[in-house]
Amino acid sequence: MSGPTVYDVATAAQVSLATVDRVLNNRGGVSPTAVAKVKAAVAQTGYVRNLAAANLSRRRVYRFSFVVPSGDTGFVALLLNALERERLALLEEQILIQVIPTRAFDVANQVAALRSLNCDAVAVMASEAPEIQEEVTRLRAEGVRVVTLVADLPHSDREAYVGLDNVAAGRTAAEFTGRFIRGSGTVLMIAGSLSSRDHIERLMGFRRVMKERFAHLTLLPAVEGDDDAETVERLVTSATADQPLKGIYAIGAGNRGLVRAVSALDPKPVTIVHELTPTSREGLRDGTIDLVLDQDTSAAVVAAVRIMRNLTEMRDLPVDTGKIRLNIYSRENI
């Protein structure tokens, strides 16, 4: 009923189970003729390996760590939630995940977190600092597979990146900003930090499309909001003191402050932000925010785990893609 097994393959190939196994998992040490016989038998019987049985038998336990900034609001909160939601289901598949919170922007702390690791693979969300890159190479040298999460470390030894194509995200933001704005005017870009790679990439994409397709709009120099509500609020308020704003692209966190500032403006600027949090959702609903560009945190977690599993399993091979789809939310589709 349930398909041919290794045993069937063995009989068909006239060899033993062990030989079949060696061929199937190409462990070597098998005569060419035996290899051929087994391969023929596999083809003939239509054998497909039973994953459940395989996993059970070798009872491997995967130990994966997630090193992410702590935080109980905004995007990281969503990420941590997603992690907790997935935890049990993953446990049933013998995947143990450990979440190691770090302090955002505190490189020493993040390095310490990476140092204390004891796992098969790790997903890191950290600043792009030399110390951290070094830590990554060290981990890799020790045989730990590492993937970056949300913010890439492209010049490190990381083997995969899971997250948005941030340049594309910026381009998309620009496209909608440009198409939503009536007439000409000025646009403000607020990054969280200008030394954070993902933010810089978003800025790049945004600027480029603005220049290519919406040259009638003026871009103010990008400012840093420190991912902090108060700072963001202040920046918006002071920018509007000089001239009216037609558009705002908020690249980082601190949307609570943004919403406060924007709702006080009379011709409301077209406002596009990142990450679908309770705050941005509310902003969408009441019209303060026009569009939310979101990266699905559950999808990110799932993708990261899948890549880490493939990595620790096949030692490398299939280059799994970690691109997370950019979700666009507007008032009508939240």
Q: What angle do CA 11, 14, 20 make, to 5 degrees?
A: 75
SS3 of residue 28 by DSSP: coil
- Taking the complex as a whole, how short is the minimal distance between the CB of residue 117 and DNA, in angstroms? 23
Query: Hey, which residues between 1 and 40 contact DNA (CB under 7 A)?
Result: 2, 5-7, 14-19, 21-22, 24-25, 28-31, 33-34
CA distance 129 to 109: 12
Residue 50 found at the interface with DNA (CB under 7 A)? yes
CA distance 267 to 251: 22
Concatenated DSSP letters of 173-238:
HHHHHHHH--S-EEEEEEES-TT-HHHHHHHHHHHHHHHHH-TTEEEPPPEE-TT-HHHHHHHHHH
Residue 118 found at the interface with its own copies (CB under 8 A)? no
Site string for its own copies, 219-258 (x = CB under 8 A): ----------------------------------------
Q: What angle do CA 227, 123, 201 make, to 5 degrees?
A: 45
Stretch that binds its own copies, among 17-25, 233-241, 301-309, 319-327 (CB under 8 A): 319-327
SS3 of residue 136 by DSSP: helix
Nearer to its own copies, 2 or 33 (CB): 2
Q: Under a CB-based contact definition with an 8 Å cutoff, are residues 181 and 150 in contact?
A: no
SS3 of residue 1 by DSSP: coil
Q: Under a CB-based contact definition with an 8 Å cutoff, are residues 324 and 303 in contact?
A: yes
Which of its own copies, DNA, none sits in contact with 209, Cβ below 5 to 8 A by type?
A: its own copies
Stretch that binds DNA, among 51-59, 136-144, 220-228, 308-316 (CB under 7 A): 51-59
Which residue's structure tokens are 């049933």?
Answer: 92
Which of DNA, its own copies, none sits in contact with 6, Cβ below 5 to 8 A by type?
A: DNA
Burial tier of 141 (Cβ tally within 10 Å: 0-12, 13-18, 19+): exposed
Which of DNA, its own copies, none sits in contact with 7, Cβ below 5 to 8 A by type?
A: DNA
Which of its own copies, DNA, none sits in contact with 325, Cβ below 5 to 8 A by type?
A: its own copies
Stretch that binds its own copies, among 50-58, 195-203, 235-243, 260-268 (CB under 8 A): 50-58
Please count the residues of this chain forming the interface with DNA, following the rule CB under 7 A: 31
Residue 193 found at the interface with DNA (CB under 7 A)? no
Stretch that binds its own copies, among 115-123, 168-176, 194-202, 302-310 (CB under 8 A): 168-176
Q: What's at 51, amino acid-wise?
A: L
CB-based contacts of 298: which residues, under 8 Å, 6+ apart?
82, 85, 86
DSSP state of 115: H
Which of its own copies, DNA, none sits in contact with 129, Cβ below 5 to 8 A by type?
A: none
- Taking the complex as a whole, how short is the minimal distance between the CB of residue 29 and DNA, in angstroms? 3
Contact set with DNA (CB under 7 A) = 2, 5-7, 14-19, 21-22, 24-25, 28-31, 33-34, 47-50, 53-54, 56-60
| Site residues, its own copies (CB under 8 A) | 1-3, 48-56, 59, 61, 88, 91-94, 168-169, 171-172, 174-176, 179-180, 182, 205, 209, 296, 325-328, 330-333
